[in-house]
């Protein structure tokens, strides 16, 4: 790869990581005088903001975290493609930038490399890469959530379903076996980031989600 092309890829990846690193949940909760890391589950994601701060702000956090993934997979590559050769494979660049946005969310440089679980940002990235797979995974999430009222169980189920489905869908233009392999690895990362939830589920102390009042263990 030519040094100038490598530099552009590096810049695109760095920008995607920084975008993903923006800790919207932390910043939104801080505007209300709450350090989201010290309340509820201690996670900076939308679910904890929804429970510990307010429902509207939790929804806003979710939307912004999804947007980070979409922009990582779509907007940032688009900004750089005009400066890259016409032969540049689009899907690999989108995948690299999307994954780096998720990595930024999970290990944000703005909070000592401690972040969220990456569910919403991963969903945003996947919307930009495989919308059909996201639709199937979301259906699995919704059914599991309505059945169990555990956000963690629904998220883990959706990740597992997606990790399987991407192998069954037709590959995109320029995508090889590495494409579903990377997405399956990302799904495995989401499951791994829920290891504390899995421990609480096994102990019977995981909180169920409630729209009317704060969930109790």
DSSP string, the chain: --HHHHHHHHHHHHHHHHHHH--HHHHHHHHTT--GGGSTT---SHHHHHHHT-HHHHHHHHHHHHHHHHIIIIIHHHHHHTTS-TT--HHHHHHHHHHHHHHHHHT-GGGTT-----HHHHHHHHHHH-HHHHHHHHHHHHHHHHHH--HHHHHHHHHHHHHHHTTTSPPPTT--THHHHHHHHHHHHHHHHTHHHHHHHHHT-PPPP-SSS----
pLDDT the model gives residue 172: 58
**pTM to 2 decimals?**
0.80
| pLDDT tens, position by position, 170-193 | 765 556 788 889 889 989 999 999
| pLDDT tens, position by position, 122-175 | 889 989 988 898 899 999 999 999 999 999 999 999 999 999 998 988 765 556
| pLDDT tens, position by position, 41-94 | 899 999 899 989 999 999 999 999 999 999 999 999 999 988 888 877 788 899
Binned at pLDDT 50, 70 and 90, residue 211 comes out as low
């Amino acid at each position: 790869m030519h040094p100038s092309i490598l530099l552009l890829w590096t810049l695109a990846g760095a920008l995607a990581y920084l975008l993903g690193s923006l800790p919207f949940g932390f910043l939104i909760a801080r505007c209300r005088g709450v350090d989201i890391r010290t309340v509820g589950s201690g996670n900076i994601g939308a679910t904890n903001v929804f429970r510990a701060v307010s429902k509207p702000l939790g929804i806003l956090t979710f939307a912004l975290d999804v947007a980070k993934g979409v922009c990582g997979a779509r907007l940032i590559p688009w900004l750089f493609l005009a400066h890259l050769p016409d032969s540049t494979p689009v899907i690999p660049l989108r995948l690299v930038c999307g994954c780096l946005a998720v990595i930024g969310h999970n290990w944000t440089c703005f909070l000592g490399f401690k972040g969220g679980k990456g569910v919403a940002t991963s969903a945003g990235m996947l919307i930009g890469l495989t919308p059909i797979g996201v639709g199937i995974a979301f259906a699995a999430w919704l059914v599991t959530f309505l059945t169990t009222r555990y956000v963690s169980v629904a998220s883990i189920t959706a990740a597992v379903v997606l990790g399987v489905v991407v192998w069954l869908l037709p590959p995109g233009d320029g995508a090889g076996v590495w494409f579903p392999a990377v997405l399956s690895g990302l799904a495995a990362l989401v499951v791994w980031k829920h290891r504390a939830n899995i421990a609480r589920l096994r102990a019977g102390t995981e909180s169920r989600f409630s729209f009317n009042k704060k969930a109790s263990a």
